[in-house]
């Protein structure tokens, strides 16, 4: 079933699911993916007034995930080779060893011996360890506008992800604002403007070239509140996590936004081709920007993005979205089952 | 860069170095550590296997068992094998006999091609070439604009007949660009292309078509130093597809260990030509395999450091400073100037990280807060000119006023004045040709023990790098900056990075 999110109810709109609050809640209970806000806090008082529950289409990343065994054959006789295969998918040495140990243990218990049985065990181990109850986008808190801050190192796909996300929301009739707070990279504002136009979102531009990104972020949130928008997504310049001044700038952006609104998501965009440095990136951005979720992009290539395993395990940050191409629809929600099955197929 | 790999190898070699004869078991234990280190550095597994295999074969052979110091010999072998994979000699760009020389850039999305195109253009222009940039990435939104802005920044014309964003044929643009360059007498043509995946057959074919259209002297494969295990697949795909002649490594100013460099070089056999290491248009240099290997072995990269220092440290200013120091008229104003000079050289941290022995102090280095410089500046800015020139007049009430004005505490002001006095004292010593005594700072570990056959190793000794007293003084001052006993995260030695 589709995910259920809350957005503003607009006058002209015929609300699809306004009436039965109870039903909505029940649906949310069945669908564990959605974060359920405490009933007495936000949901009950707000919904009937101004919010409307919307279904946004669920998406699949099947096309992006390639099998681990496309280059190397799975050898049921030699499970140690599995370690090499996982290493080559950027899981990292320690995680790979741990996964293989777990597979061996379970295979022994279950008496799994054939290739298919062992693959099944591997898929289960991967899916279980990647599954997270907090992987849904936080679009259910009911405090509008939602504010998303998108961060990451250079060239990972932040702006592209924002374009895709904005488009998905406007298709669901959300009023989307985008803040062009990458005032550093050449023509970055033009790039995000192109995406905003494609997505039918409103862009808040810097007033002058090279303006302080924190002030652009502030003005974007201000404009979104004024215009009664459902969500504002802030694009930021790429920065390497070891550059202290640039990380400090991010901290400032975050603090400035929080003066006006709660930040509902800080998304760290991570390129699937990234190796072990991905963990260092996640660590640094989590500390400074208080990352709430990871977007794993470029899964349409040959890279597997195995480093997210360690990121979830060691830092407890869930993967929420994946990018599977350069097109506006080329993204999906992260689904541990789908991901694990895809890898093992 | 490559930092933690160095730390690891150094750790492993510590045991090796202390022993006399090596058993096969010793060597295997070492190789296991090397394997782990290389994997953590993102060197592709197959490359790691070949590498450790080669080291093992040599380590078990005569050259080690007969060596006076077998452990040192293994280190030497690891070093040599690293250099071999990284490309041996430094490779220079090939220029066409009859201009224009054509350079084509290719790589994955987000590798940094467009920024690199700008840097390359500037570098060539500085050498007296007349380059032109060609906007043949018509795919990514506003890639054409980006190249135009970059071109403007470095003062190099951009050939961009098509708007991009999916409009226009990059093969046609590339072909026209050559004609344009011939007509307008440009000496080098730099073709920026769209990022593409190795597995995207359609786009790979397009890259092949662009290549055919421009017949480049170099096809440079631009690769992000953060790339993981997939480096081998991607490098193979580009080499077998479009065919590359050289590699450029980007984002080396990050803290990725950069094992992709080894992977790509070893899979393609193509030399790494350039290293790109910052967002500024100057943050770009030729790639030196031997330096990089030294770096991997944590022998420091003094040559790069020296070059960087020389490029940025204004000679005239340096001379003036030397005079001041000698005359004992070094003031807080000068102190601030020096810090700004250091800033110009790039991140203080990345400078420090290039010094020998840096691996061992990396943990403390990570604690060093570059914002300390901002705070110092804020304090000095809140002083009156008289106070800056004569720090001696800074009494209690003046210090309180300065603290208030700069948003700091009186303790901060006190500690700054202390550090300034220390630095001034130290500089005088250096200016007079002495060796400064910095508390808690032992001499840098000598590199002689690594026995690198290269004569360069000789003049890499010690922390002091410059014959120019002012320059050396500035470097000492940089260290003194860390000597803040109150700074958070400082270690027992009382230094923020505990050197
Ligand atoms: N193949 C592929 N390319 C992507 C994906 N996401 C982004 N890109 C490309 O990666 C490059 C950098 O993206 P951009 O959004 O500008 O990155 P930013 O610097 O983080 O904002 C562009 O060429 C994008 O088209 C993805 O999921 N798959
Ligand atoms: Mg961007």
A50 and A160 fall within a common domain = no
pLDDT value at residue B194: 96
First to last CA, chain A: 24
- Collapsed DSSP state (helix, strand, coil) of residue B193: strand
Q: In terms of residue numbers, what domain contains A85?
A: 64-130
Inter-chain touch A274–B228, beta carbons under 8 Å: yes
pLDDT of residue B347: 56
Task: Return the bridge partners of A51, or none.
Answer: A8
- What is the per-residue pLDDT across B460-478, written as a single tens digit (0 to 9) for each? 333 333 444 444 444 444 4
Alpha-helical segments (H) within chain A: 21-30, 44-50, 80-87, 93-110, 115-130, 158-171, 188-199, 213-226, 244-258, 277-289, 307-310, 336-344
Q: DSSP of B403-441, one letter per residue?
A: HHHHT--HHHHHHHHHHHHHHHHHHHHHHTT-----TT-
Q: Is residue A26 part of a domain?
A: yes
Can you give the pLDDT at residue B250?
94
B266-275, B361-370, B472-481: lowest mean pLDDT where? Answer: B472-481
Q: Is A158 in the pocket of ligand 1 (CB under 6 A)?
A: yes
What are the backbone angles phi and psi of residue B224, rounded to the nearest 5°? -75, 130
Confidence of residue B8 (pLDDT cuts 50, 70, 90): low
How far apart are alpha carbons B262 and B2 in whole angstroms? 11
Number of H helices, E strands in chain A: 12, 10
Least confident of A173-187, B77-91, B291-305, B391-405: B291-305
> What's residue B477's pLDDT?
47
pLDDT of residue B34: 79
Whether residues A208 and A118 fall in one domain: no
CB contact under 8 Å between B146 and A303, yes or no, is: no
Contacts of A258 (CB under 8 A, 6+ apart): none
Write the CA distances from A25 to A41, A51, A53, A293, integer angstroms.
14, 14, 11, 24
pLDDT for the residue B32? 83
Alpha-carbon distance B118 to nearest alpha carbon in chain A (angstroms) = 11
Output the pLDDT for position B470.
46
**Given the DSSP bridges, would you call strands B246-250 and B218-224 parallel, antiparallel or unpaired?**
parallel
State the residue for tokens 């499970």: A79
What pLDDT is stored for residue B143 in this prediction? Answer: 94
Per-residue model confidence (pLDDT) at position B314:
54
Could you say which residues from 305 to 344 on chain A have a Cβ atom under 8 Å away from some Cβ of chain B? 307, 326
Residues of A in contact with B229 (CB under 8 A): 87-90, 275, 303
**Tell me, what's the pLDDT at B436?**
39
B75 close to B293: Cβ distance less than 8 angstroms: no
Query: CA B335 to CA B353: how far, in whole Å?
Result: 22
Residue B474: which of B353, B362, B319 has the closest Cα? B319
Q: Is residue A338 part of a domain?
A: no
Q: How far is CA B447 from the centre of its chain?
A: 20
Q: Is the CB of A298 under 6 A from ligand 1?
A: yes
Which ligand 1 atom sits closest to the C-alpha of A191? 16
pLDDT at B2: 38
Beta-bridge mates of residue A235:
A150, A180
Nearest ligand, CA of residue A157? 1
| A176 contacts A194 by C-beta, under 8 angstroms | no
CB distance B234 to B192 below 8 Å: no
**Does some domain include residue A72?**
yes
Query: Tokens standing for B20?
Result: 């006399």
Query: What pLDDT does residue B20 have?
Result: 59
Residue A216 lies in a domain: yes
Q: In what order do the strands lie in the sheet with B272-276?
A: B158-159, B131-136, B188-193, B101-107, B218-224, B246-250, B272-276, B284-286
Residue A282 and residue A207 share a domain: yes
Q: How far apart are CA A337 and CA A343, in angstroms?
A: 10
**Chain mean pLDDT for chain B:** 75
- pLDDT for B41 equals 82
Distance B264 CA to ligand 2 centre (A): 27
A84 touches B: beta carbon within 8 Å? yes
Q: What is the mean pLDDT of residues B134-162?
A: 95
Query: What does the pLDDT read at residue B218?
Result: 97
A244-258, B40-54, B413-427, range with the lowest pLDDT: B413-427
Q: A-chain residues within 8 Å CB-CB of B230? A: 90, 273, 301-304
Check CB contact under 8 Å for B371 and A245. yes
**What are the tens digits of pLDDT across the range B311-339?**
555 555 666 666 666 666 778 877 777 66
Higher model confidence: residue A25 or residue B73? B73
Whether omega before A49 lies within 30 degrees of 0, making that bond cis, reads no
pLDDT of the residue at B384: 86
Q: Does domain B101-297 have CATH number 3.40.50.1100?
A: no
State whether B165 and A154 contact (CB < 8 Å).
no
Euclidean distance between CA atoms A295 and A301, whole angstroms: 15
Distance CA A207, CA A170 (A): 25
Residue A195 sits in the same domain as residue A83: no
Among the listed residues B44, B250, B256, the one whose alpha carbon sits nearest the alpha carbon of residue A277: B256
In the three-class reduction of DSSP (H, G, I as helix; E, B as strand; rest coil), residue B244 is classed as coil
Mean pLDDT of B367-390: 78
Tens-digit pLDDT profile for residues B351-363: 555 554 455 455 5
Answer yes or no: is the C-beta of A238 below 6 A from any ligand 1 atom: yes
Residues of B in contact with A163 (CB under 8 A): 141
Our answer on whether the CB atom of A64 is closer than 6 Å to any ligand 1 atom is no
Domain count, chain A: 3
- Helices B45-60 and B24-40, packing angle to 10 deg: 160
ipTM value? 0.84
Looking at A36, A55, A74, the residue that finishes a domain is: A55
Q: Do the Cβ atoms of A302 and B257 come within 8 Å? A: no
Task: Report which bound ligand comes closest to the CA of A151.
Answer: 1
Of A84, A159, A194, the CB nearest to B45: A84
Architecture (CATH level 2) of domain B310-467: Orthogonal Bundle (1.10)
- The verdict on residue A150 lying in a domain is yes
Residues A150 and A286 in one domain: yes
- Give pLDDT tens digits along chain A (345 positions): 344 577 777 655 444 443 333 333 333 333 334 444 443 444 433 443 566 766 666 666 666 677 888 766 777 778 888 999 999 999 999 999 999 999 999 999 999 888 889 999 999 999 999 999 888 899 887 788 999 999 999 999 999 999 999 999 999 889 999 999 999 988 899 999 999 999 999 999 999 888 999 999 999 999 999 999 999 999 999 999 999 889 999 999 999 999 999 999 999 999 999 999 999 999 999 999 999 999 999 999 999 999 999 999 999 999 999 999 999 999 999 999 989 998 888
Check residue A209 and give its pLDDT. 84
Question: Which of B199, B230, B255 lies nearest to residue A242, judging by beta carbons?
Answer: B255
Q: Are residues A158 and A263 both part of a single domain? A: yes
Query: What burial class does residue B442 get, using C-beta atoms within 10 Å of its C-beta: 0-12 exposed, 13-18 middle, 19+ buried?
Result: exposed
The secondary structure element, H or E, covering residue B380 is helix B371-381
The residue extents of the domains of chain B are 3-85, 101-297, 310-467
- Chain A residues whose beta carbon lies within 8 Å of the beta carbon of residue B255: 240-242, 277, 280
Same domain, A42 and A99: no
In terms of Cα–Cα distance, which of B309, B290, B298, B307 is closest to B362?
Answer: B298
CA nearest B343 in A: which residue? Answer: A245
- The verdict on residue A185 lying in a domain is yes
B40 touches A93 (CB < 8 A): yes
CB contact under 8 A, A190 and B142: yes
For a pLDDT cut of 90, what percent of chain B falls above it? 37
Backbone dihedral angles phi then psi of residue B413, each to the nearest 5 degrees: -65, -45
- For residue A321, the SS3 value is strand
| Assigned domain for A322 exists | no
Task: Answer yes or no: do A285 and A165 share one domain.
Answer: yes
Q: Is A67 on the interface with B (CB under 8 A)?
A: no
Q: Shortest CA distance to A297 belongs to which of A321, A278, A277?
A: A321
Q: Probe ligand 1: pick from A156, A157, A158, max atoms within 8 Å of CB?
A: A157
What residue's CA is closest to ligand 1, atom 19? Answer: A155
The pTM assigned to this predicted structure is 0.73
Residue A90: its pLDDT value, please? Answer: 96
Q: Mean pLDDT throughout B3-13?
A: 51
List, as ranges, residues 243-302 from A with C-beta within 8 Å of B: 243-245, 248, 271, 273-278, 280, 298, 300-302
The CATH number given to whatever domain includes residue A91 is: 1.20.120
Angle at B243 between CA B239 and CA B249, to 5 degrees: 60
A303 touches B at CB < 8 Å: yes
Of B197, B259, B370, the CB nearest to A245: B370
- With tokens 């003084």, the residue in question is B473
pLDDT at B428: 65
- Give the atom of ligand 1 at the shortest distance from the alpha carbon of B194: 23
Inter-CA distances, B315 with A319, B285, B429, Å: 52, 21, 21
- Interface mutation vs chain B, best among A270, A277, A283, A287, most B CBs within 10 Å: A277
Instruction: Map residue B310 onto helix, strand or coil.
Output: helix
Closest C-alpha among A146, A135, A165 to residue A319:
A135
Find the range with the poorest average confidence among A163-172, B221-230, B260-269, B373-382: B373-382
pLDDT of residue B156: 98
Beta bridge partners of A175: none
What is the CATH classification number for the domain harbouring A262?
Answer: 3.40.50.300
Judge whether A298 lies within some domain: no
CA pair distance B391, B386, nearest whole angstrom: 8
B109, B111, B136, B140, best to mutate for ligand 1 pocket (most atoms within 8 Å of CB): B109
- Minimum-distance CB partner of A301 among B198, B224, B229: B198
Pocket test for ligand 1, best of A59, A149, A160 (most atoms within 8 A of CB): A160
User: Could you tell me the pLDDT band of residue B456, with boundaries at 50, 70 and 90?
Assistant: very low
Q: Per the CB < 8 Å rule, is B227 touching A300?
A: no
A51 and A69 together in one domain: no
Same structural domain for residues A70 and A16? Answer: no
Best residue among B106, B107, B110 to mutate for probing ligand 1's pocket (most ligand atoms within 8 Å of CB) is B110
Q: Do A172 and A263 share a domain, yes or no?
A: yes
Structure tokens of B13?
């070699």
Pairing assessment for the beta strands B158-159 and A331-333 based on DSSP bridges: unpaired
Q: What mean pLDDT is predicted for residues B371-393?
A: 83
CA distance B359 to B490: 17
Query: Are both A47 and A161 inside the same structural domain?
Result: no
| Domain boundary pick from A73, A106, A130 | A130
Q: Which fold has domain B3-85?
A: 1.20.120
Residue of B225, B229, B369 to mutate when probing chain A, most A C-beta within 10 A: B229
Span from the CA of B426 to the centroid of ligand 1 (angstroms): 50
């Amino acid at each position: 079933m589709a995910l259920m999110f809350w957005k503003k109810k607009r006058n002209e709109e015929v609300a699809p699911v306004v009436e039965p609050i109870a039903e909505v809640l029940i649906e949310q209970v069945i669908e564990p993916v959605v974060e359920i806000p405490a009933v007495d806090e936000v949901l009950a008082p707000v919904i009937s007034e101004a919010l409307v529950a919307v279904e946004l289409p669920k998406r699949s990343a099947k096309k992006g995930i390639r099998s681990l065994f496309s280059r190397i054959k799975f050898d049921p006789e030699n499970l140690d080779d599995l370690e090499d295969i996982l290493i080559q998918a950027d899981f990292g040495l320690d995680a790979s060893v741990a996964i293989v140990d777990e597979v061996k243990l379970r295979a022994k218990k279950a008496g799994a011996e054939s290739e298919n049985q062992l693959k099944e065990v591997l898929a289960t181990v991967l899916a279980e360890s990647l599954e997270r109850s907090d992987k849904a986008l936080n679009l259910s808190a009911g405090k509008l506008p939602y504010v998303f801050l998108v961060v990451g190192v250079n060239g990972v796909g932040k702006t592209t992800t924002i374009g895709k996300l904005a488009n998905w929301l406007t298709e669901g009739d959300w009023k989307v604002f985008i803040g062009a707070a990458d005032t550093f990279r050449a023509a970055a504002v033009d790039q995000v403007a192109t995406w905003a136009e494609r997505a039918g979102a409103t862009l808040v531009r810097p007033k002058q070239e090279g303006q302080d990104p924190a002030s652009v972020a502030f003005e974007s949130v201000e404009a979104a509140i004024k215009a009664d928008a459902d969500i504002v997504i802030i694009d930021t310049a790429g920065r390497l996590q070891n550059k202290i001044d640039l990380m400090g700038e991010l901290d400032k952006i975050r603090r400035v936004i929080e003066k006006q609104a709660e930040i509902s998501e800080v998304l760290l965009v991570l390129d699937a081709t990234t190796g072990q440095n991905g963990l260092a990136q996640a660590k640094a951005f989590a500390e400074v920007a208080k990352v709430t979720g990871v977007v794993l992009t470029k899964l349409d290539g040959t890279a597997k993005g195995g480093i997210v395993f360690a990121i979830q395990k060691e830092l407890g940050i869930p993967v929420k979205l994946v990018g599977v191409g350069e097109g506006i629809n080329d993204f999906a929600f992260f689904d541990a089952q789908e991901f694990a099955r895809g890898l093992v197929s | 860069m490559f930092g933690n790999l160095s730390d690891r190898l150094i750790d492993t070699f510590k045991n090796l170095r202390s022993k006399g004869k090596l058993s096969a078991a010793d060597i295997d234990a070492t190789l296991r550590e090397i394997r782990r280190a290389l994997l953590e550095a993102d060197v592709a597994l197959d490359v790691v296997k070949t590498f450790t295999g080669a080291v093992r074969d040599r380590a078990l052979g005569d050259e080690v068992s007969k060596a006076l110091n077998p452990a040192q010999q293994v280190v030497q072998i690891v070093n040599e094998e690293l250099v071999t994979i990284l490309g041996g000699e430094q490779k220079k760009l090939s220029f066409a006999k009859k201009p224009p020389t054509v350079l084509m850039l290719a790589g994955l999305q987000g590798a940094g091609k467009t920024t690199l195109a700008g840097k390359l253009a500037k570098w060539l222009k500085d050498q007296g070439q007349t380059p032109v940039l060609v906007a043949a990435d018509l795919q990514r939104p506003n890639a054409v604009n980006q190249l135009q802005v970059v071109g403007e920044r470095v003062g190099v014309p951009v050939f961009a007949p098509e708007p991009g964003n999916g409009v226009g044929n990059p093969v046609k643009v590339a072909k026209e660009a050559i004609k344009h360059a011939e007509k307008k007498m440009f000496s080098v043509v730099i073709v920026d292309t769209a990022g593409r995946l190795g597995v995207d057959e359609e786009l790979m074919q397009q890259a092949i078509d662009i290549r055919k259209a421009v017949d480049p002297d170099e096809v440079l494969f631009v690769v992000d130093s953060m790339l993981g295990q997939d480096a081998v697949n991607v490098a193979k795909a580009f080499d077998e597809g479009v065919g590359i002649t050289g590699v450029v490594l980007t984002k080396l100013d990050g803290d990725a260990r950069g094992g992709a460099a080894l992977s790509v070089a070893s899979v393609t056999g193509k030399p790494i030509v350039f290293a790109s290491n910052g967002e500024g248009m100057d943050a770009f240099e030729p790639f030196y395999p031997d330096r990089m290997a030294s770096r991997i072995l944590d022998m420091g990269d003094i040559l790069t450091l020296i070059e960087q220092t020389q490029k940025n440290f204004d000679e005239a200013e340096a001379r003036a400073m030397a005079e001041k120091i000698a005359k004992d008229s070094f003031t807080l104003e000068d102190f601030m100037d020096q810090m700004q000079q250091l800033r110009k050289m790039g991140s203080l941290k990345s400078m420090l990280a290039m010094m020998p022995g840096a691996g061992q102090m990396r943990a403390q280095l990570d604690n060093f807060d570059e914002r300390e410089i901002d705070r110092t500046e804020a304090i000095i800015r809140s002083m009156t000119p008289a106070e800056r020139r004569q720090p001696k007049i800074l009494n209690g009430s003046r210090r309180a006023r300065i603290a208030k004005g700069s948003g700091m505490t009186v303790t901060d002001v006190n500690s700054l004045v202390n550090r300034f006095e220390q630095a001034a004292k130290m500089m005088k010593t250096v200016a007079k040709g002495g060796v400064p005594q910095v508390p808690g700072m032992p001499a840098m570990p000598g590199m002689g023990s690594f026995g690198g056959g290269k004569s360069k190793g000789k003049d890499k000794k010690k922390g002091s790098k410059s014959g120019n007293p002012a320059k050396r003084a500035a470097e000492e001052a940089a260290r003194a900056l860390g000597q803040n006993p109150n700074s958070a995260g400082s270690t027992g030695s009382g230094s923020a990075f505990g050197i």
